[in-house]
A and B are shown apart, each in its own frame.
Chain A
Amino acid sequence: MTLLSDIGRFLLMLKGMFKKLENRRMYSKELMRQCTEIGFGSLGIVTIISVFIGAVSTIQTAYQLVSPLIPISTIAQIVRDTVILEFAPTLVCVVLAGVAGSRIASELGNMRVSEQIDALEIMGINTKTYLILPKIIAAMLMIPLLVIIAMVLGIWGGRLAGTAAGIISPNMYDKGLTSDFLPYNVFFALTKSYVFAFILSSIPAFYGYHVRGGALEIGKASTKAVVVSCVLILFADYILSALLL
């Protein structure tokens, strides 16, 4: 019953976001603020994760490719495809669910508990449109960009680690990268990143917006938001893979 009721309230929240804007300039300003917080605010962690994931992928692939019949450039192909198909969109979004998701849930939860949302309602502002919609739009604009950055950095990290460890030469790595490249994989990764961006922004917004109580409940809502977002991201990952690949 709680699950059904939560789904119903979630859908009503989404419906409630699409109302007439009181002042477009104020909403654009809020959208820009959210883009900065979600996009630039997560750039550091995305960079670190991507480079290391690429590096580890190269070393581990090389460790498993022991047959002399398989050309060494295959390492680059495997790293490229795993980074593009899985690591960049999924792992980065799971991490972002923790970074951006918890921030969204705690920001809205704090606003709810300290009556700031009520204050906005009293002013005649549609709080769902003003507070939630810019966060979802900002996530859907910035997260695919972060995923593209993660792809590039992951592949570059693999090249760096491969050369540093003497596993593969830069030329061989570049040759492997360009052979049998399927642009559809990038399209698939970006499709996933849009879906994940929606999940990791709307789910925390839902839990944060509906917080009741005090500081303890904000913490609980934040944790629940991250857990539910991660589970849904993994579930959506499976569904999208089954449908699109």
Chain B
Amino acid sequence: MIEVKNIQKKFADKVVIEEVSARMEAGRCNLIIGASGSGKTVLMKCMVGLLNPDQGSIFYHGNNFTTMDTEAKTLIRKEIGMLFQGSALFDSLTVEENIMFPLNMFTKDTTGEKIKRVNEVLDRVNLSGVNKKYPAELSGGMKKRVALARAVVLNPKYLFCDEPNSGLDPQTSLVIDKLIRELTVEYQITTVVNTHDMNSVMEIGDYILYMYQGKKEWEGTRKEIIFSKNQRLNDFIFASEFLRDAKDMRMLEETGKIPNERDMDQMTRP
């Protein structure tokens, strides 16, 4: 479980995050959503320690991460896996070497055991047989899946995903979302996903934190989001006319999912 209390972050005089608090439970997909520039990436970077907040605290299972010394932070970081927006795979290493990197660095396993573990996680993300390929030889979706495999290879307690669907087609996005959800439930990971992909919100959002201009504007579940009366949230979530119509028709309230054209046809058919 991760708890964020009154986090504030400024760059020069510009306040990027203001008094944000949230509680993110284990075994659930916790989503941070918001428009570009709303501060969600900065919040995530503060949570993992890539940026130091100016004010407030972050607790990992009750331990205050913000006041820890470097060594204690390093121990927490060893329990964190992170999927970056651009995958952040090491270009000069093969897929196998990329995934094996954390194992080489932090375990004393034999080479055979490491290769076995690499194959297990690659199989888990449905990418068997690409061990010897380089990142440049993979598609965007495959890179994301390799990065996800690397993020979970050490069985992390916390998984952070920064815009996991950016640059991916809707079908591949769904595959990545499903994988994140399955891994979260399977290993009881506290997963934090930073996204503005509405399919993800509806597909995996167990807890949703909506950020608006650096502040927490709304929080709730994906079911609650449909009934929310928050105007800013509704403008953000139901940005297209299509989605607004769907909401008006109360279709979302019935299905809990963003409808596709066929559902709309069925609803409007006499």
Contacts and interface: CB of A to CB of B under 8 A. Distances in A.
Interface stretch (A50-58, A122-130, A139-147): A122-130
Contacts of B88: 114-116, 118-119
A124 to B, nearest CB: 4
A123 B49 CA distance: 11
A67 interface: no
Nearest to B71: A20
A176 to B, nearest CB: 48
Nearest to A16: B70
Given A115-B85, A119-B84, 13 more contacts: A22-B105, A23-B105, A115-B86, A118-B50, A118-B88, A121-B49, A121-B77, A122-B48, A122-B82, A124-B77, A124-B78, A124-B80, A126-B74
B74 A122 contact: no
Given A22-B106, A125-B105, A115 B84 contact: yes
Contacts of B81: 122
Interface residues of B, number: 23
A123 to B, nearest CB: 6
| Among A26, A110, A114, A119, residue most surrounded by chain B Cβ atoms (within 10 Å) | A119
A116 B101 CA distance: 12
Contact of A123 (B50, B75, B105, B160): B105
A133 to B, nearest CB: 15
A25 B85 CA distance: 30
Given A114-B86, A115-B84, A115-B88, A124 B50 contact: no
Contacts of B85: 115
Given A114-B88, A115-B86, A115-B88, A122 B50 contact: yes
B193 to A, nearest CB: 15
